[in-house]
């Protein structure tokens, strides 16, 4: 018996940068406009170089993937280069565990930074030298104010700030103090190095921003070499400059930081990359903040960062999403400055679109109902031939055993069928996929509860091809498995993690968690070809949806499948509409 082919996670090999010719024509966005113009002016000698700068303090989610896609994707399309740079300037929050997971996720998405892997911490020495220069130029000073005092002195959104009493210290004293900060002479929080800009600026970021703070913490890369660490603003632009980044593409909330980004670069007189901001990705029925995702994990609302319900890349991978589906989704979402919320239906569409081509079809009964075919010889077993994927003949065929007792889906039988219900009901005939027509003769029910326990049917041996010789038609085609040959399995159905479109608008987003986000079906029966599957393998369960073998909880005795995404369900839609109209 030939096993169905499959698509597993092992196929998700990283790809190198794509050719610009792969790009569909017509893609247009404001960043490309800017780049086209820069290219036209031969800015940077026609060079395009971007970067993706994650902080290694958590797992990547699809929002990060957008940033990565914008930065890396544009570099690919313009035949430029892109760097991966860990923005590791805050040792108390960062860890190598995150560095590893981030690299794994990026590779999975198919990006390859080649030898261009950097860390902001690579530049700590250079940053320190540059800080010395600013001090010498009278553009930075050591401030002894406490954090609280600095906040008070900063003023408010509508009132200007006040200058620190330490603002006009002599250069020599600043130099001495700063060197001693570095030498570890002062405790955490006692002093900071600040840029001397303008305490009355409308932009708060320009009111003498902190450049360095004292932090006696062990850094995941530099260990205990430093006890002063640069702030984001002081590190980021300079890191971009050192790496020769031409376009530093980041999200909207950094717009206010651009004047500071520019200011530092200008004072230093070094290569000046251009920061351009775009709107981050939001998707309805989920949350996209690292903080909230962390709460979900730490409070046990989900199993882990890679829980298939999470919008993390590791979660989507475990759920069975193909990386190319995420890329095509991001491509369809586009890039703009206006804040927006993308319908999760678009993501699901992209996932189905790829899986429809890639996933071999297989039959699985999630809620089994036993059917005895009374006129089928006892003990007889037939091997029927089934096509693996009608979308791709090269995926071949497989054999499936058929016998007198089978399971069909409980939902495929209705004793009292509503209008437009094409499935099985008393006296009605339907087709069993790849097999015969069967007709329901009798219903066996529990005397007390009335629950349907079993169906007694007859089959027509003349319909083996799946068609009747007399031209008789059936409206429905059901999937099934042979009772004696079926493999028991567990199936996990995932639904939206939240019950509302915008969980961020909930008083407490925890209150909006969908209690039915995970349904575990433990009594499933799947076709015997699914006996020896590998972790991560993907299938279409006929008439249900796309499923993958869970990579963590799967065992050969007991396969566990995750539903990646359901098939579009026209019947569910009809039923819903009927219900609505009917009452």
Partner RNA sequence: UGGGGCGUCGUCAAGCGGUAAGACACCAGCCUUUGGAGCUGGCAUUCCCAGGUUCGAAUCCUGGCGCCCCAGCCA
As annotated, the active-site residues are 55, 280, 290
Does residue 561 contact residue 574 with C-beta atoms inside 8 Å? no
Output the six-digit token pair for 361: 């079809």
Q: Which is nearer to RNA, 268 or 344 (CB)?
A: 344
Residue 13 CB, nearest distance to RNA (Å)? Answer: 26
Residue 163 CB, nearest distance to RNA (Å)? Answer: 15
- 3-class secondary structure, 321: coil
CA angle 138, 142, 147 (to 5 degrees): 135
Q: Which is nearer to RNA, 378 or 505 (CB)?
A: 505
| Segment 178-183 long-range contacts (CB within 8 Å, at least 24 positions apart) | 178/131, 178/132, 178/135, 178/142, 178/212, 181/142, 181/212, 181/214, 181/227, 181/228, 182/128, 182/226, 182/227, 182/228
Residue 248 CB, nearest distance to RNA (Å)? Answer: 13
Surface-to-core class of residue 522, CB atoms within 10 Å of its CB (0-12 exposed, 13-18 middle, 19+ buried): exposed
Determine the Cα–Cα distance for residues 32 and 491; give it in Å rounded to an integer.
44
Residue 446 CB, nearest distance to RNA (Å)? Answer: 24
Q: Which is nearer to RNA, 231 or 535 (CB)?
A: 231
Q: Which is nearer to RNA, 330 or 513 (CB)?
A: 330
Q: Which residue has the tokens 């962390």?
A: 294
Residue 556 CB, nearest distance to RNA (Å)? Answer: 26
Q: What is the DSSP letter of 312?
A: B
Q: What are phi and psi of 109, to 5 degrees?
A: -70, -10
N-term to C-term CA, the chain: 51
Q: Which is nearer to RNA, 203 or 458 (CB)?
A: 203
Sequence-distant (≥ 6) Cβ neighbours of residue 531 within 8 angstroms: 487, 556, 559
Please count the residues of the chain.
583
Q: Which is nearer to RNA, 282 or 553 (CB)?
A: 282
Determine the Cα–Cα distance for residues 500 and 330; give it in Å rounded to an integer.
23
R_g over Cα of the chain: 31
Determine the Cα–Cα distance for residues 438 and 49; give it in Å rounded to an integer.
64
Residue 94 CB, nearest distance to RNA (Å)? Answer: 8
Residue 557 CB, nearest distance to RNA (Å)? Answer: 28
Q: Which is nearer to RNA, 89 or 525 (CB)?
A: 89
């Amino acid at each position: 018996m030939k096993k169905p082919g499959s698509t597993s996670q092992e196929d998700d090999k990283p790809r190198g940068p794509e050719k610009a010719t792969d790009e569909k024509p017509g893609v247009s966005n404001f960043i490309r406009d800017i780049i086209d113009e820069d290219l036209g002016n031969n800015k940077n000698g026609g060079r395009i170089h971007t970067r993706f700068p994650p902080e290694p303090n958590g797992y990547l989610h699809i929002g990060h993937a957008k940033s990565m896609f914008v930065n890396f994707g544009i570099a690919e399309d313009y035949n430029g280069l892109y760097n991966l740079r860990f923005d590791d300037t805050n040792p108390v929050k960062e860890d190598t565990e995150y560095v590893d997971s981030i690299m794994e996720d990026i590779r999975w998405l198919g990006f390859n930074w080649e030898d261009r892997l950097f860390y902001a911490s690579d530049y700590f020495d250079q940053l320190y030298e540059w800080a010395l220069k600013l001090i010498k130029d009278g553009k930075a000073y050591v401030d002894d104010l406490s954090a609280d005092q600095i906040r008070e002195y900063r003023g408010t959104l509508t009132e200007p700030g006040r200058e620190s009493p330490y603002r006009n210290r002599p250069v020599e004293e600043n130099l001495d103090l700063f060197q001693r900060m570095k030498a570890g002479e002062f405790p955490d929080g006692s002093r900071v190095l600040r840029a001397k800009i303008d305490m009355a600026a409308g932009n708060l970021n320009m009111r003498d921003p902190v450049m360095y703070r004292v932090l006696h913490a062990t850094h995941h890369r530099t260990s205990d070499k430093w006890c002063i660490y640069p702030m984001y603003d002081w590190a980021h632009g300079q890191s971009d400059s050192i790496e020769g980044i031409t376009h530093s593409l980041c999200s909207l909330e950094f717009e206010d930081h651009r004047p500071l980004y520019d200011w530092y670069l200008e004072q230093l007189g070094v290569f000046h990359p251009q920061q351009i901001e775009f709107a981050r990705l939001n998707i309805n029925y989920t949350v996209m903040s690292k903080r909230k995702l962390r709460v979900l994990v730490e409070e046990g609302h989900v199993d882990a960062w890679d829980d298939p319900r999470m919008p993390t890349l590791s979660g989507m991978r475990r759920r069975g999403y193909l990386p190319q589906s995420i890329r095509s989704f991001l491509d369809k979402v586009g890039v703009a400055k206006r804040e927006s919320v993308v319908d999760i239906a678009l993501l699901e569409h992209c996932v189905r679109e790829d899986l429809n081509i890639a996933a071999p079809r297989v039959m699985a009964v999630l809620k089994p109902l036993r059917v005895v075919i009374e006129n089928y010889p006892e003990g007889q077993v037939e091997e029927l031939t089934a096509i693996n994927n009608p979308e791709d003949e090269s995926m071949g065929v497989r054999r499936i055993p058929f016998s007198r007792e089978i399971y069909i889906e409980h939902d495929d039988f209705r004793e009292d069928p509503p209008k437009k219900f094409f499935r099985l009901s008393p006296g009605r005939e339907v087709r069993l996929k790849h097999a015969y027509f069967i007709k329901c003769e009798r219903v066996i029910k529990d005397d007390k509860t009335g629950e349907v326990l079993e169906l007694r049917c007859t089959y027509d041996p003349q319909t083996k091809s799946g068609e009747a010789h007399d031209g008789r038609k059936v409206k429905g085609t059901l999937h099934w498995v042979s009772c004696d040959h079926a493999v028991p399995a567990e199936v996990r159905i995932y639904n939206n993690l939240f019950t509302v479109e915008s969980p961020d608008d909930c008083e407490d987003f925890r209150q909006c968690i969908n209690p039915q986000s995970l349904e575990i079906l433990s009594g499933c029966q799947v076709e015997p070809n699914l006996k020896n599957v590998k972790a991560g393998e993907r299938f279409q369960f006929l008439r249900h949806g796309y499923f993958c073998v869970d990579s963590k909880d799967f065992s050969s005795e007991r396969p566990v499948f995750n539903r990646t995404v359901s098939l579009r369900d026209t019947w569910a839609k009809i039923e819903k509409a009927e219900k609505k109209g009917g009452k």
